[in-house]
C-alpha cells in the first residue's frame, strides 16, 4: 500500500500499558486506526483518527489505500498477534509490511491469574469461530484458555461443556483483564455458568473433568460416528490416516466419504488441517456434517454433495486424497491423480475384487505400497470364544512424484 503500518498493543489499563516504543509511534503517526474504545485510550494528537469499517475485511483494503504514503498506526488489544488484527494485516500485506509492538496479552494475564504455566495449558480461540470447535480440545485433565468474541461467549462455552459431558469441569471467567477497577473473576462448575451474564472483554479458563473426552490421535471408537454401515472400521481407518500422513495446514479430499470418518480424523489431528468430504448420498452427507460438529471440526470439514469424478471439478488443490469408495468407477482415480499436487499423497481402499484389480494396475504403473489389511476380533462362539474376521481391505498408498 506504500504506507508504514505499525500495530500497537494496548491493555485494559490504557496508555500506560503501551511500551515506550509504541507510545512514540502513536505520537508520531499521521493516521490512527482502531475501535472506538481503543482510540479513546490515546492522548490527543494531530493524527487523523479512523474507525474500523464494518464488515472489516470487506473495507480493509480501501481504508488502507486511502492512507497510502502516510505513517499509519493501528491500535489493538494486548498482543495483536493473538487472534487479533495484527494477524489479519500480516496475512493481507506480508510480514515485511507490518511492524507489531505488543502489550501483555490477555492470555498471559489469564495464565498469571490462574497460576498456570504456559507449557501446561493450551490456548483456543473462538473469536470469529464456531463454538463447536472447542469439542476437539476436550479431554480429561486438560487446561484450556479460551478466547471468546463477546458477552455471550462464556455462557455458550459452559453450555457446550455440559452437552459434551463436562458439566463438572472447573471454569473461571475472567473479564477486563488488566483494568485497575473493572477486572472481575467468577469461578464455578460448567453446569453453574450456562446462563451467566459476562462482559464483552471476557475469556474462559477450563480445567476439564467429569468425562474422558477423546484423543486427537487417529482411532476414535466406531460408535463415535453416526453411520448406515458405510464406515471405515477403527483399525482400517487408523491405517488410512497414518498412510495419508497429515501435516498442519494441509487439505484432504475424502472421496466417497460415507460417514466421513477418515476425513474427520484427518481434520482432528491439527486445527489447521482441512477436509473436503465428497459424498453423493444426501443422508450420508448430512451425517458427515453432524459427525464433524460433534467431534469438534464443524468448520474444517466441508461436505460437497455429488459423485466423483464430476463433483471434483473446481475444488481446491489437495495435499492428500483418500478414495474410500468408488475407486473402480471410470475416471475417479485419473481425476484424483491429475488434481493431486506434486509430492502429495494418495491412499485408496478396495473391498471388492473389481476395485482391487484397478488398484493393482495403478500400483504397477505408479508404484507406491500395496497392502492387504486383515483384522480379526475375539467374539463369542456359543459358550466359547473365537476369532471373527472383518472384511479384508486392500490399501494402495503412493506419493506423487515431483514434476
pLDDT band at 11 (very low <50, low <70, confident <90, very high): very high
Mean pLDDT of 80-101: 92
Mean pLDDT of 176-204: 94
Q: Among positive and negative, which fits the CA dihedral 224, 293, 297, 339?
A: positive
Does residue 213 form part of some domain?
Answer: no
379 shares a domain with 238? yes
- List the one residue out of 157, 133, 399, 161 whose CA is nearest residue 272: 133
296 shares a domain with 272? yes
- The predicted pLDDT at position 403 comes to 43
Q: Which CA distances in Å does 207 have to 166, 189, 203, 217, 294? A: 10, 10, 14, 21, 20
Does residue 212 form part of some domain?
Answer: no
Q: For 228-253, b where at least 16 C-beta lie within 10 A, e where not — what string? A: eebbbebebbbbbbebbebeeebbbb
- The pLDDT tens digits for 96-136 are 999 999 999 999 999 999 999 999 999 999 998 999 999 99
Boundary residue ending a domain (207, 240, 273):
207
- The pLDDT tens digits for 284-312 are 999 999 999 999 999 999 999 999 999 99
Q: How far is CA 132 from the centre of its chain?
A: 10
Boundary residue ending a domain (173, 207, 241):
207
Mean pLDDT of 3-11: 89
Could you say which DSSP state residue 149 is in? S
Mean confidence (pLDDT) of the chain = 94
- List the one residue out of 140, 375, 76 whose CA is nearest residue 234: 375
Mean pLDDT of 29-58: 94
227 shares a domain with 359? yes
The crossing angle, in degrees rounded to 10, of helices 56-66 and 85-93 is: 70
255 shares a domain with 186? no
117 shares a domain with 94? no
273 shares a domain with 182? no
287 shares a domain with 181? no
- The pLDDT tens digits for 230-281 are 899 999 999 999 999 999 999 999 999 999 999 999 999 999 999 999 999 9
Quickly list DSSP for 54-77.
Answer: SSHHHHHHHHHHHTTTSEEEEEEE
316 shares a domain with 168? no
Could you tell me the residue range of the domain that residue 184 belongs to?
107-207
Mean pLDDT of 165-178: 96
Boundary residue ending a domain (77, 104, 131):
104
Residue 61 has pLDDT above 50, yes or no: yes
178 shares a domain with 161? yes
CATH of the domain at 187: 3.30.950.10
Cβ atoms of residues 259 and 227 within 8 Å: yes
Amino acid at each position: 500500500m506504500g504506507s508504514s503500518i505499525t500495530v500497537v498493543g494496548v491493555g485494559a489499563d490504557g496508555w500506560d500499558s503501551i511500551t515506550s516504543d509504541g507510545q512514540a509511534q502513536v505520537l508520531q503517526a499521521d493516521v490512527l486506526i482502531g475501535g472506538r474504545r481503543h482510540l479513546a485510550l490515546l492522548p490527543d494528537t494531530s493524527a487523523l483518527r479512523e474507525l474500523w469499517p464494518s464488515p472489516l475485511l470487506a473495507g480493509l483494503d480501501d481504508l488502507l489505500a486511502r492512507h497510502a504514503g502516510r505513517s499509519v498506526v493501528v491500535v489493538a488489544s494486548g498482543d495483536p498477534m493473538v487472534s487479533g488484527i495484527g494477524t489479519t494485516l500480516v496475512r493481507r500485506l506480508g510480514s515485511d509490511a507490518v511492524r507489531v509492538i505488543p502489550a501483555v496479552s490477555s492470555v498471559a494475564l489469564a495464565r498469571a491469574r490462574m497460576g498456570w504455566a504456559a507449557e501446561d495449558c493450551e490456548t483456543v480461540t473462538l473469536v470469529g469461530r464456531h463454538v463447536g470447535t472447542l469439542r476437539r480440545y476436550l479431554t480429561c485433565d486438560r487446561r484450556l484458555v479460551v478466547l471468546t468474541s463477546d458477552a455471550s461467549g462464556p455462557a455458550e462455552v459452559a453450555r457446550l461443556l455440559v452437552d459434551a459431558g463436562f458439566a463438572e469441569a472447573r471454569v473461571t471467567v475472567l473479564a477486563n483483564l488488566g483494568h485497575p477497577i473493572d477486572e472481575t473473576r467468577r469461578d464455578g462448575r460448567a453446569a453453574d455458568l450456562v446462563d451467566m451474564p459476562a462482559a464483552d472483554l471476557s475469556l474462559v479458563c477450563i480445567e476439564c473433568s467429569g468425562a474422558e473426552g477423546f484423543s486427537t490421535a487417529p482411532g476414535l471408537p466406531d460408535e463415535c460416528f453416526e453411520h448406515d454401515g458405510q464406515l471405515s472400521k477403527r483399525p482400517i481407518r487408523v491405517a488410512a490416516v497414518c498412510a495419508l500422513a497429515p501435516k498442519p495446514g494441509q487439505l484432504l479430499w475424502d472421496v466417497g466419504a460415507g460417514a466421513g470418518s477418515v476425513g474427520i480424523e484427518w481434520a482432528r489431528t491439527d486445527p489447521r488441517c482441512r477436509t473436503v468430504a465428497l459424498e453423493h448420498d444426501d443422508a450420508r452427507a448430512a451425517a458427515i456434517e453432524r459427525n464433524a460438529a460433534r467431534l469438534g471440526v464443524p468448520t474444517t470439514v466441508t461436505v460437497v454433495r455429488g459423485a466423483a469424478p464430476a463433483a471434483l471439478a473446481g475444488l481446491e488443490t489437495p495435499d492428500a486424497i483418500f478414495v474410500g469408495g468408488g475407486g473402480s468407477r471410470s475416471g475417479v482415480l485419473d481425476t484424483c491423480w491429475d488434481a493431486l499436487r506434486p509430492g502429495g499423497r494418495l491412499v485408496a481402499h478396495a473391498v471388492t475384487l473389481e476395485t482391487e484389480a484397478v488398484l493393482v494396475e495403478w500400483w504397477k504403473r505408479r508404484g507406491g505400497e500395496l497392502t492387504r489389511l486383515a483384522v480379526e476380533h475375539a467374539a463369542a462362539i456359543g459358550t466359547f470364544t473365537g476369532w471373527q474376521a472383518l472384511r479384508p481391505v486392500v490399501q494402495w498408498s503412493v506419493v506423487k512424484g515431483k514434476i
